[in-house]
Structure 1
Amino acid sequence: MTMLGTFIKPVHREGYKFIAIFAVVTALLFLLPIKIFGWVGAGLTVWCYYFFRDPKRTTPDREGLIISPADGVVSMIEPAVPPEELEMGPDAMTRISVFMNVFDCHVNRAPIGGIVDKVSYRPGKFLNASLDKASVDNERNSLAIRMADGRKLAVVQIAGLVARRIVCDVAEGTGLETGERFGMIRFGSRLDIYLPDGVQPMIAVGQAAFAGETVLADLKSDEAARTAITR
């Protein structure tokens, strides 16, 4: 990768209009006598571009690996029942929550390959996405992915405190490859991943995750859930 490529990244199509709006406002601000407002606008325009970046990712290519669908920090790992609209039953599954702040890349990627068995959008509140109750109360879009062996994995896009739109580019019946882009959330949010029964997480609370690259779990592993130490 070149030095320029380190800083210049492709932009998700959802970002074009926002970057344009920020740029126009910035140009108008520079017409004011106090130029500091223009420079503030310029900084915000750069941030807007950075928020909508859509970099290429290198996804581990081995059957059975469950990969993070989002950039961010693992904020919770706990048993929880998947959203009822997915009709995956009343039993709790291991839920891994990845919290994205406004500086993380917000493009979401499929955690594993399979067929999108169900897609369900539900309006709701805009609580801080790091809160546990955000899984229940906030606006969300839920996907059930049926894997080749028939088991299902759920991934849920949850709007955050300042998020106002969830984008999902796939429909029921769509086939997804591991690491393939399927949507994004605008301006701070969270993704929940519900692991199939008996699958243990290979990541710990507090660890950073990168969409399409970080391994969350392995369907073929009998390793116990991992722990970690913060130093």
Structure 2
Amino acid sequence: MFKKVIYSILILSTGAILFISYFNRTPERVIPVGQTIVSPANGRVIGIENINSPEIVFFKDDVKNVLSLNDIKPPYTIIVIEMNLKNIHAQRAPIDGEIIYQEHFSGAHKNALTSENLTQLANVNEKNLIVIKNEDISVGVIQVAGLAARRIKSFVNINENIEKGDIYGKILLGSQVVLILPQNLELNVSLGEILIDGESVIAKY
């Protein structure tokens, strides 16, 4: 009996170690050169939307808040990327530049994978927003936590410089990443497309 218990513990421990190693993997990526915007996340495109309002509305602790994005002038285009358990969960910088804004918002952790209202989802879930700016363009990235993904990590700070393709954050378990772009760009992606973090070109500028 004792041996069976030890054996079961060893199996469970090994399984947990393998899962953690698989989940935390960060394979090497070939980062495109030039004035390209790359995908900040590995996952499927589930939403592409044009937003003409200068403000983004969100909820923090069930209280409605309004956020104006620094140096990204409306109209915007947002690209919503869904991640599942099989995807890479590290987030990468979509462009070279300086991090001019970062803010974390707590939320209700509603399920990011099954919500039918993507706008509502982005407003009520825990999230972290950064804005990266260079001489030519500013883009924003929102890490959005879901039901299982109750923790968002950001490894960067305001005023830091970051290179395109650098890992800057991570979401534990599956959720979503929202890329915010100026609307005047010609997109190179479509709904349902699977994107590779740091490699897939979203647009050129």
SS state at 1:217 partner: strand
Q: Which has the higher contact order (CA 8 A, sep 6+)?
A: 2
Contact 1:96 1:193 in 2 (8 A): yes
Give the TM-score normalised by the residue count of structure 2: 0.83
Q: Is 2:183 the counterpart of 1:197?
A: yes
Percent sequence identity over aligned pairs: 31
Deviation for aligned residue 1:86: 3.4
**C-alpha spacing 1:31/1:161, structure 2 compared with 1 (3 Å):** farther
Report the counterpart of residue 93 of structure 2 in structure 1. 110
Matching residue of 1:179? 165
The equivalent residue for 1:55 is 27
Q: Relative to structure 2, which stretch is displaced further, 42-51 or 189-198? A: 42-51
Task: Write out aligned runs for 1:57-72 (5 A).
Answer: 57-62=29-34, 64-72=35-43
Structure 1's unaligned 5+ residue stretches are: 1-29, 220-231
SS of structure 2 residue aligned to 1:216: strand
User: 1 or 2, which has the higher helix percentage?
Assistant: 1
Number of residue equivalences: 188
Give matches, 1:11-30, under 5 Å. Answer: none
Once the two structures are TM-superposed, the CA of residue 34 in structure 1 deviates from its matched residue by 8.7
Structure 2 CA distance for partners of 1:178 and 1:90, relative to 1, 3 Å: closer
State the TM-score, normalized to the length of structure 1: 0.74
Comparing 72-81 with 98-107, which one deviates more in the overlay?
Answer: 72-81
Higher strand share: 2
Cα 1:137/1:90, change in 2 over 3 Å: farther
RMSD over aligned CA atoms reads: 2.2
Q: Deviation of residue 210 (structure 1)?
A: 0.8
The amino acid that maps onto 1:73 is: R
State the distance in 1 between where 2:83 and 2:3 align.
Answer: 35
Moved over 2 A (4+): 30-45, 80-83, 85-92
Shift of 1:104: 1.1
